[in-house]
Amino acid sequence: MKSKYSWLAPALALVLLAASCNRDKQATTETAETEEAKVPAAPSFNADSAYAYTTKQVAFGPRVPNSKAHVATGDWLVQKFKNLGLTVKEQPFEAMAFDGKMLRSRNIIAQFQPQATRRVAVFTHWDTRPFADKDDQHKNAPLDGASDGASGVGIALEMARVLASQPDSLRPNVGIDFILFDSEDYGYDGSTQSDLKNQLQAQEEQGKSSWCLGSQYWAQHLLPANYKPDYGILLDMVGAKNAKFSREQLSVEKARDIVDKVWNTAAQIGYSDYFLFQDSPGITDDHVFTNQAGVRTIDIIDHLPVGDEYFPAYHHTTQDNMSIIDKRTLKAVGQTVLQTIYAG
């Protein structure tokens, strides 16, 4: 079931049916059904549940490294994945932010079917940006990070819940690792923070970044050791109403087949209003470093399809709160990723 043929099956069935005027329709239909039956349907992703997981994180308060809310949320996430029956590993680390602060951080890795040899990684980040520097009025205020942070984790948790509740016969044939990076969003934004000194400037010139501190640490200290999944999918800003996902440049360069697979799946199950067959410039996100670590990774990230702005207006502002979260977006992303994994 690895081949793209699986994806072609329903389309092929239509072509065959259309071309079957002077052939035996019955026989053609049966062939099509047999082929289609080989594509396992994923279980249903519950958007209410994903929404509740998103709400819960936001209710802890901004998940800014070194804060109480951050520690409490991390503890809750670890416990939640354990309660769902996954095997959880924590990767504590300290990293220096651009402003010189040492951030007490941890990556959280939750494994479903840890014994499976073939694996897929679902990456996301669980911290929130400490300041709404793109806000018109409250530039120093922390933000809820409802879409930028909590939504990706909410989808990961719901995927874990659905997967773990399947009987053996309905489980996918791969293991899945939910890898939640910390300290992704404490980076230096030259467009809004030019009055501040970026203390990591020298390092940035050597290919490091003030963003994505958790994935950079992880890429240097792979956990699980020698980790080599078939591919990875990064979820970032995946919960806002009317979100749009384009085919981001680095994703296409590194894993064109996975981009195609995800976008075609979305179209097939009715979510092409979210997953646009349109390209977007590359961005610095955790997938830069997971790709460097040898995991072919694509990024699913909310991107404005028209105009010069890369991100929608809520990005890094106090508007990124629960009022912009839409269950249908959570469903579109969660169901598409689940179905992609089930199709193999």
Q: Per CB under 5 A, which region of 19-27, 58-66, 177-185, 256-264 contacts Zn ion?
A: 177-185
Q: Per CB under 5 A, which region of 26-34, 140-148, 166-174, 199-207 contacts Zn ion?
A: 140-148
Binding mask of the shown chain, residues 83 to 112, with x at each position contacting Zn ion by CB under 5 A: ------------------------------
**Separation of alpha carbons 270 and 318, rounded Å:** 31
Nearer to Zn ion, 241 or 311 (CB): 311
- Asked if 337 and 270 count as a contact pair (C-beta separation under 8 A), the reply is no
Contact between 135 and Zn ion by CB under 5 A: the answer reads no
Nearer to Zn ion, 216 or 339 (CB): 216
Contact between 286 and Zn ion by CB under 5 A: the answer reads no
Nearer to Zn ion, 182 or 185 (CB): 185
Q: Per CB under 5 A, which region of 92-100, 169-177, 181-189, 238-246 contacts Zn ion?
A: 181-189
* Distance in Å, CB of 167 to Zn ion, minimum: 38
* Distance in Å, CB of 211 to Zn ion, minimum: 8
Reading across the β-sheet that carries 175-181, which strands appear in turn?
87-96, 102-112, 175-181, 119-125, 231-236, 297-301
Residue 215's H or E segment, with its range, is: helix 213-220
Contact between 185 and Zn ion by CB under 5 A: the answer reads yes
Contact between 285 and Zn ion by CB under 5 A: the answer reads no
Contact between 133 and Zn ion by CB under 5 A: the answer reads no
Q: Per CB under 5 A, which region of 101-109, 148-156, 211-219, 225-233 contacts Zn ion?
A: 148-156
**Separation of alpha carbons 175 and 240, rounded Å:** 28
Q: Per CB under 5 A, which region of 54-62, 147-155, 270-278, 333-341 contacts Zn ion?
A: 147-155
Nearer to Zn ion, 177 or 320 (CB): 320
**Nearest by Cα to 210 from 197, 227, 195, 223:** 197
Nearer to Zn ion, 73 or 265 (CB): 73
Contact between 127 and Zn ion by CB under 5 A: the answer reads no
Contact between 158 and Zn ion by CB under 5 A: the answer reads no
**Nearest by Cα to 108 from 216, 215, 35, 14:** 215
Q: Which of 148, 177, 182, 248 binds Zn ion (CB under 5 A)?
A: 148
* Distance in Å, CB of 319 to Zn ion, minimum: 13
DSSP 302: B
**Separation of alpha carbons 225 and 295, rounded Å:** 13
Contact between 177 and Zn ion by CB under 5 A: the answer reads no
User: For 270, how many CA atoms within 13 A lie in the half-sphere containing its CB?
Assistant: 4
Distances (CA, A) of 283 to 181, 298, 330: 17, 11, 22
* Distance in Å, CB of 95 to Zn ion, minimum: 16
Contact between 144 and Zn ion by CB under 5 A: the answer reads no
The SS3 assignment for 95 reads: strand
- Asked if 152 and 178 count as a contact pair (C-beta separation under 8 A), the reply is no
Q: Which residues contact 290 (CB under 8 A, 6 or more apart)?
A: 121, 123, 215, 218, 219, 232, 234, 297
Report the amino acid identity of residue 286: D
Contact between 182 and Zn ion by CB under 5 A: the answer reads no
Tally Cβ neighbours within 10 Å of residue 90. Answer: 14
Contact between 320 and Zn ion by CB under 5 A: the answer reads no
Q: Per CB under 5 A, which region of 111-119, 179-187, 252-260, 328-336 contacts Zn ion?
A: 179-187
Residues within the interface to Zn ion (CB under 5 A): 148, 185
